[in-house]
């Protein structure tokens, strides 16, 4: 016995008291059968899904969190990051679209000749609109304000009379 052991002789004698602590009488008689019963129960429960359908990938995925709780935090963090990234990208693309739109708007002055050419063609051949298919390039905002879905006149607007006097009789 070395010096360190001798220094703690009294303490070691005192610790011998722990060896005299015993569980209730007969405690170990039923211990192993309890363990085996619990194992049998576990085996029965774990074999249940194998009889029917195998557990889904989702249940296996969630079951993996039981043994590695850190994964839950990691997954939650990555989901939040994806969400933030998605929001940032969406904002960025909106800004780009707006920029493109303004560029298009700046380029618009070059297109009126086409629209005016179409309008002039319609004006020059008004009878064609009575039959067949009429194609218009006018934007919706150019619809006459007095039109109504149910065919009723809108009293708030008054038709401007711009037709030549001779054409009114037709």
Partner 1 sequence: MPEPAAATDTEVSTEVPEGDLVRRAREGDLTAYDELVKRYQERIYATIYHMTSNHEDANDLAQDSFIKAFSALKSFKGGSSFYTWLYRIAVNKTINFLKQRKNKYHLSLNDLDFNAENDPDLVALISHKTPQREAGLSELQKKLNEALLKLSESHRMVVVLHDVQGQSHEDIAEIMGCNIGTVRSRLFYARQQLQGYLAEYVKPL
Query: Footprint of partner 1 on this chain (CB under 8 A)?
Result: 4, 7-8, 10-24, 27-28, 31-36, 38-40, 42-43
Nearer to partner 1, 23 or 131 (CB): 23
Nearer to partner 1, 37 or 120 (CB): 37
Q: How far is the CB of 73 from partner 1 (least distance, A)?
A: 18
> How many angstroms separate the CA atoms of 127 and 5, rounded?
120
Sign of CA dihedral 102, 103, 108, 109: positive
> How many angstroms separate the CA atoms of 100 and 94, rounded?
10
Return the closest-CA partner of residue 159 out of 141, 147, 142.
Answer: 147
Nearer to partner 1, 20 or 170 (CB): 20
Q: How far is the CB of 87 from partner 1 (least distance, A)?
A: 38
* DSSP structure class, residue 151: S
C-alpha 63: how far from its chain's center?
A: 24
Nearer to partner 1, 23 or 126 (CB): 23
Element (H, E) at 73: helix 70-107
Q: How far is the CB of 77 from partner 1 (least distance, A)?
A: 24
Q: How far is the CB of 91 from partner 1 (least distance, A)?
A: 44
């Amino acid at each position: 016995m070395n010096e360190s052991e001798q220094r703690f002789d009294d303490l070691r004698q005192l610790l011998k008291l722990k060896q005299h602590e015993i569980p209730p009488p007969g405690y170990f008689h039923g211990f192993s059968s309890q363990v085996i019963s619990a194992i049998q129960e576990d085996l029965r429960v774990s074999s249940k899904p194998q009889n029917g359908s195998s557990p889904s990938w989702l249940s296996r995925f969630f079951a993996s969190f039981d043994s590695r709780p850190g994964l839950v935090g990691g997954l939650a963090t990555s989901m939040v990051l994806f969400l933030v990234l998605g929001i940032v990208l969406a904002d960025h693309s909106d800004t780009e679209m707006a920029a493109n739109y303004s560029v298009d708007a700046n380029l618009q002055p070059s297109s009126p000749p086409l629209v005016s050419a179409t309008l002039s063609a319609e004006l020059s051949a008004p009878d064609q609109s009575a039959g067949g298919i009429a194609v218009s390039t006018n934007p919706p905002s150019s619809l006459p304000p007095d039109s109504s879905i149910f065919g009723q006149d809108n009293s708030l607007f008054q038709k401007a009379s711009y037709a030549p006097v001779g054409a009114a009789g037709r």
